[in-house]
Structure 1
Amino acid sequence: MIMEPLRTGATAERASTAELVRTARMTGLFYLGMAIAGVLGFLVIRPRLFAADDPSATLAHLVGNESLARAGVVLEMLMVLTQALTAMWFYRLFRTVDAFAAGSIAAFGLVNAVIGLDSAAFLATAVEVAFDPVGDAPTTVYLQYLLSGNLWGVGAMFFGLWLIPMGFCVLRSGWMPRPLGWVLIGGGVGYLLGAFIVYLAPEARVVAELIAVPAHVGEFWMVGYLLVSGVRRRALREAPRDDARMATPAST
């Protein structure tokens, strides 16, 4: 009779830990989807379609690669979707660690999603004009790609901003390696500064790219840790009982 409540409490604690790990891995899955869509759309497809300083070549690339151009729009939309889901799941994961920091991750992440949504609309407009020309089609198509690219350029501020509270939550929770938290914070600051450097001193673009490297390292490290480990179970076991109970997300 005495042992029954203890078994019930241990079972509840194991269930809470398992739920936290599931939340972490779902967050990592959405984050991975966002990364894949972003890499394929921005680094693979866009360079094959957009010809810098050549509106006529850009239009010709779209007309000659319709499927690729439409895939670029769809990938941008997928990145928006997974970005929004990642932002909300990070809030679910960290809200009991620090509500303000977790809310900041969600808010900055949703701003990124809105930026991507606008970019997707510009790319869709470019495709529409390419196949149903209106006015000066080469200039219009080229302008849409410039607008899309500069949205991501100025939006890099928020990609930096959302990494800073993410790193803070890593440090405060103890659920992931502490170096990961510092890399995320440093990378976020670098990303934020780089967004200004690109426009203040275009000739120093390589500097902006270099100081953003920790951000890329931190993001892929975070994705990998969430998917493989979820959270450090040892950190949960070593936490005081009340803190451990507070650190687990509520069931839905």
Structure 2
Amino acid sequence: MKIMVPIKRVIDYAVKIRVKPDKTGVETSNVKMSMNPFCEIALEEALRIKESGLATEVVAVSMGPTQCVDTLRTGLAMGAERGIYVEAKGDLFPLSVAKILKKLIEIEKPGLLILGKQAIDDDCNQTGQMVAGLLGWPQGTFASKVLLDKEKQVATVEREVDGGLETLCLDLPAVITTDLRLNQPRYATLPNIMKAKSKVIKKFTLLDLNVEIKPDLEIVEVREPPKRKAGVIVSSVDELIDKLRNEAHVI
């Protein structure tokens, strides 16, 4: 079985985000970029499934500007056998990404698509659900535990919900999106980083895939959240209740 894992290049989680002066987006020039943390978890899970003998190949996929190839190399250094890069200019919103993935899945025919539940730049949490809808595949979202039965061609997904834990049984092929508690991603070792340089990355264009991208959203303005006001120290419970009732108006 082949597993496909989409990975996204985002601003590193440790970087302080700065809004552009014209408020059209966030500043990305001269900013450290890295693989989306949820995508790292998805790739780690795919690699563990392969190492357990339940899959034969892990294919990493990324799309966007040329720099996405660097992110793919990181995925290859973690252990993916090969990569697929789709060249695309401009912003790619979830539905556009889902359409591209659908075309790649029709070409590669994987038995399982594992991807992060969301990206930390837009927090949309939509791509996995959309690609499952386009393909007509069963889906297990926010997975905190994944078990595969190769003989029965079934995936069991445990996911956290408001009421506790929910267990889903999915017929393969299926789409699974990963949550933070699923695993701890590995670090790429120096030997594997060197090996990744010789691994194959196949390039596609939107024309090759016959996918027409249309903007689904319009960004009107990006603003920083308002600064939090300084706290107030109160001397008694009665004073606290008075301020909550008459100033904050929360009770």
The bucket for the TM-score relative to the shorter chain is: under 0.3
- More strand by percentage: 2
When normalised by structure 2's length, the TM-score is 0.27
When normalised by structure 1's length, the TM-score is 0.27
- More helix by percentage: 1
